[in-house]
Amino acid sequence: MLLNVLAVAAVSAAVLYVLYKWLIPAAVQNSGWLALIWHDVIVERVLNILTGLSRPQRMLKAVQKNATKGDPQSVIAAIDYYCRHKEWAMNVGDDKGPILDSVVSEVNPSTALELGTYCGYSTVRIARLLSPGSKLITVEFNPAYAAVARQIIAHAGLQNKVTLVEGGSGDLIPKIKEQFGITSFDFVFLDHWKDRYLPDIKLLEDCGLLKKGSVLLADNVICPGTPEYLEYVRNSPRYKSQYFQSYLEYTKAEDGLEKSVFLG
């Protein structure tokens, strides 16, 4: 009797493990929404309980263990490896990352703004490409994420190029000129909550923080999606806009970046 109970328990545990580790992740790979619900809601909560750490803290540990201090590329590689093989996270990721890199390199911004820092993955990607003397301001309203991002940016040795501001984008944007002495941004990466993309670029316009030739790059325009933002930048005579197709981070579901040049 006891042996039967143990056998049933062992088989059930094995089935659950296979489901959790391989079958469900494979099944949700091609659907952005299912992938987000599985990884971002279910797995994250289970791992938080099991490890007593948050997902950003687990990512930070992976960076501290596997990345070389002062080497941004190794920080990026450590995060991508962790997110592909251990646990999904909402970084721009290694499919869309090279698109971000090529736009940053093409613009070669002196002044750059990132809305939505999370753990600093895209911050590191952008800051490592900046020319000497250039500056990146990155904005994050979650203090726990900001604390992790500061450590990851420092691990990459990029703390002198980056100013991380804690607070909401809508509160910060109107104060940027006065607080940081910046007249306009050459490059803006939008990667915060999707319903803020449109109000925040309108705020950037109203505050005079965009000049002719400023480049906006928006992540996740397909998944989770930013329909009002796309409608605006694609139809406004003030922008020339282009879509770059790719995949939602660490999945096979379609997502992409929208590059929009401000025409004045």
Ligand X SMILES: C[S@@+](CC[C@H](N)C(=O)[O-])C[C@H]1O[C@@H](n2cnc3c(N)ncnc32)[C@H](O)[C@@H]1O
Q: List the catalytic residues.
A: 191, 194, 219-220, 249
Tell me: does residue 168 bind ligand X (CB under 6 A): yes
Percent helix / strand / coil, the chain, rounded to 5: 55, 20, 25
- CA torsion angle for 73, 79, 82, 84 (degrees, to 10)? -90
Tell me: does residue 250 bind ligand X (CB under 6 A): no
Please tell me the distance from the alpha carbon of residue 49 to that of residue 126, in angstroms, as a whole number: 33
Binding mask 98-127 for ligand X (x = CB under 6 A): ------------------x-x--xx-----
**CB nearer ligand X, residue 190 or residue 230:** 190
Count of other CB atoms within 10 angstroms of residue 131: 9
The strands making up 162-166's β-sheet, listed across from edge to edge, are 162-166, 135-140, 111-115, 185-190, 210-218, 254-262, 239-247
**CB nearer ligand X, residue 20 or residue 180:** 180
Least Cβ distance, residue 249 to ligand X (angstroms): 8
Of residues 83, 126, 139, 153, which one binds ligand X by CB under 6 A? Answer: 139
Binding mask 61-100 for ligand X (x = CB under 6 A): -----------------------------xxx--------
CA angle in degrees (0–180, nearest 5) for 215-185-128: 80
Please tell me the distance from the alpha carbon of residue 139 to that of residue 131, in angstroms, as a whole number: 21
- The answer on whether 249 is annotated among ligand-binding residues is yes
Tell me: does residue 247 bind ligand X (CB under 6 A): no
Closest CA to 236 of 207, 209, 258: 258
Q: Of 10-18, 45-53, 127-135, 186-194, which segment contacts ligand X by CB under 6 A?
A: 186-194
Tell me: does residue 196 bind ligand X (CB under 6 A): yes
Tell me: does residue 148 bind ligand X (CB under 6 A): no
- The answer on whether 219 is annotated among ligand-binding residues is yes
User: Which 8-state DSSP code applies to residue 212?
Assistant: E
Please tell me the distance from the alpha carbon of residue 182 to that of residue 139, in angstroms, as a whole number: 15
Please tell me the distance from the alpha carbon of residue 95 to that of residue 37, in angstroms, as a whole number: 20
Q: Which residues are annotated as a binding site for S-adenosyl-L-methionine?
A: 92, 122, 140, 191
Annotated binding-site ranges for Mg(2+):
191, 219-220
Q: Annotated binding site for substrate: which residue ranges?
A: 194, 220, 249
Question: Applying CB under 6 A, which residues contact ligand X?
Answer: 90-92, 116, 118, 121-122, 139-142, 145, 168-169, 191-193, 196
